[in-house]
Amino acid sequence: MRDGIRVLSPLDRLLSLLDEGLRVTLADSSARSRAGRPSPAAGVAPAELSATERRHVAGLMRVNHAGEIAAQGLYHGQALAARTPALRAHLDLAAREEGDHLAWCEERLAELGEKPSRLNPLWYAGSVVIGAGMALAGDGPSLGFVVETERQVEQHLTDHLSRLPQADEPSRRVLEAMRGDEARHGAQATEAGALELPGPVKPLMRAVSRIMTWTAYRV
C-alpha cells in the first residue's frame, strides 16, 4: 500500500494481464455486458441484407473485432512495461474505452449470425509482445506508437465505411463511433508527449495490419 492505494507488483500486473487476455479473447455474451457505453447501433432498425452482403459485412466486422482484440493487447502490453504510473494510467483508460469497441463489434457479429476470428488469441498475444517492446523504448516512443496506430485505424475504418452496403445503418453507426474515439485517443497521446516514430516502423505496422486484415476476414 502507498498513501492508501495498493501498488501492483510486476507479478500482480502479469497475472492481471493473463486474466484480461482470457476475458477479451473468449467471446461470449458476458463480454458485451461489460461495455461501458451502449452500442451506437442500439435502437436502429435491422438492415435488410442479401446473403452475399451479410457475409461481406460479417467479414468486415470480424476484421474490426480482431483489430480491437489487437488494440487491447497493445495497450495491455504497453501498460505492463510502462516506465511511469502516469503513462500506465493513460493506457489503462484507453484500453477500457477501446473495450467498448470490442463489445460493439462482437454484438454486431452476433446479430449477423457470425463468430469472431478463431485466431484472436494469436492477435492478442502478438500485440502484447509488440506493445511491451514499444513501452520499453520509453514513454515518448510508446505514445508515438499509439498515435500512429490510431491514425492507421482511422484510415482502415474510413475504408470499411466506404465498403458497407448502403442499407447497413447499424454497422455504419458502430464504425463511425469507433472512428471518432480513435481520433480522440490519438490526439490525447499527442498531447501527452508522443514522439514521432522512425520511418521504417510505419510501413512495417501497415504490413502487419494487412496480414491480419486479410486473415481475419476469412478465418
CATH of the domain at 97: 1.20.1260.10
- Number of domains making up the chain: 1
Give the distance, in angstroms, between the CA of residue 32 and the centroid of all CA atoms in the same chain: 14
Q: Examine residue 42 and state whether it is found in any structural domain, yes or no.
A: no
pLDDT in tens for each of the 219 residues of the chain?
Answer: 444 445 556 656 655 656 666 566 665 544 555 678 999 999 999 999 999 999 999 999 999 999 999 998 999 899 888 888 888 888 888 888 888 999 999 999 999 999 999 999 999 999 999 999 999 999 999 999 999 999 999 999 999 999 999 999 999 999 999 999 999 999 999 999 999 998 888 999 999 999 999 999 999
Distance CA(45)–CA(50), nearest Å, equals: 16
Q: Examine residue 134 and state whether it is found in any structural domain, yes or no.
A: yes
CA-wise closest residue to 68 among 157, 168, 142, 172: 157
Question: Residue 96 is part of which domain span?
Answer: 10-37+47-218
Q: Examine residue 91 and state whether it is found in any structural domain, yes or no.
A: yes
Q: Examine residue 111 and state whether it is found in any structural domain, yes or no.
A: yes
Q: Examine residue 1 and state whether it is found in any structural domain, yes or no.
A: no
Q: Examine residue 5 and state whether it is found in any structural domain, yes or no.
A: no
CB within 8 Å of 49: residues ≥ 6 apart: 57, 165, 167, 168
